[in-house]
Homo-oligomer: A and B are copies of this chain.
Amino acid sequence: MTTPPLATAILVLGPPLVFKTYETEFSEKFNFLKPWKTPLPLHQFIATHSCNVRAIFCSAVSPVTAEIIQSLPELRFVLASSIGVNHIDLRECKRRGIVVANAGSTFSEDVADMAVGLLIDVVKRISAGNRLVKARVWPRQRDYPLTYKLGGKRVGIVGLGNIGLHIATRLRAMGCIISYTSRTMKPHVTFPFYPTIHQLVANSDILVISCALTEQTHHMIDREVMLVLGKEGVIVNIARGAIINEKELVECLVKGEIGGAGLDVFENEPHFPEELFKLDNVVLTPHHGAVTEEACRNLYDHICKNLDAFLSNKPLGVFGSQEFNGI
């Protein structure tokens, strides 16, 4: 086994879970720099290796800032282990002609499953029932409130990309009535399209957030939107925390101004809004929609193909990865 020359070093930031899971396999194929394995602060580590780094492989929670990018003169490629790339300074990448690619559709279905699971859980109080049974509250307190049926509910999907489409397919099979908003109307989709979030929420009992976090979508779901959704309305978010104004969401949930929420993502991960911990109508999971065994294997293959292509000067993003050449 020959180690690739130092000049093709790939800086790993995070590290992504897939990297930890497949570290041995990855390390046999590529020359990775692993800052978390040295005592050096990150900026010093980067300064030491600055002339060797031609690519970055980063997790969803490792910022790739303008400062980092500017300190790496040979950087040509940033590859995210996530679908969202809001943690990468896309403006600076565009200015420098650095290609940015994401995880493509490697775990779209896994995340869609999570959205559906969270929704059913909130609406049918599964985690709440589980807690009551295991805490021996049941059967002492048998008159638990009635739950709700999914069929017939109007579900507004915010962002109908790969994940949004998988969510729509799943919920349609449960009898939900689907509509969506998105930057543009999708040409081959028959679900009703609303051009704005305000029109969508006015026609929805449930909102499922599955769009990218951008300047345009930051805090798009605010108190005004939530009040229209109303006291029985439910929000599910499997995209990025900051698409919702979390402070206002907490307020609406605590006051009972919306009916419930299923959240896999948060505005300041890994911090969770503690005011929600006591609410049985709120289900919180630690951003693990994508972390299935199968997705991890798919992602490993996807990352290897993209890094191979980059190192052999072949086109990138042809393996299901989206390329982001600016915003």
Residues of A within 8 A of B (CB): 20-21, 109-110, 113-114, 116-118, 120-121, 123-127, 129-134, 136, 138-139, 142-144, 146-152, 169-170, 172-175, 269-272, 277, 283-286, 288-289, 291-296
Complex CA gap A109/B173 in Å reads 11
Which residues of B have CB within 8 Å of A271? 139
Q: Given A121-B127, A125-B288, A138-B272: A113 and B146 within 8 A (CB)?
A: no
Query: How far apart are A51's CB and chain B's nearest CB, in angstroms?
Result: 33
Q: If the complex has contacts A147-B288, A148-B294, are A126 and B118 also in contact, measured as CB distance less than 8 A?
A: yes
Number of chain copies forming the complex: 2
Q: Closest chain B residue to A20 by CB distance? A: B143
A139's nearest neighbour on chain B, judged by CB, is B270
Q: Closest approach, in angstroms, between the C-beta of A77 and any C-beta of chain B? A: 27
Min CB–CB distance A151 → chain B (angstroms) = 5
Contact status B110-A149, CB under 8 Å: yes
* Distance of A236 from chain B, by nearest CB (Å): 12
A133 touches B173 (CB 8 A): no
- Complex partner residue of A272 from B133, B148, B172, B283, CB under 8 angstroms: B133
- Once A120-B116, A121-B121, A151-B109 are accepted as A-B contacts, the answer to whether A293 and B126 lie under 8 Å apart by CB is no
| Contact assessment for B131 and A131 in the assembled complex, using a CB-CB cutoff below 8 Å | yes
**5 examples of A-B residue contacts, CB within 8 angstroms:** A114-B124, A116-B120, A117-B120, A133-B284, A146-B291
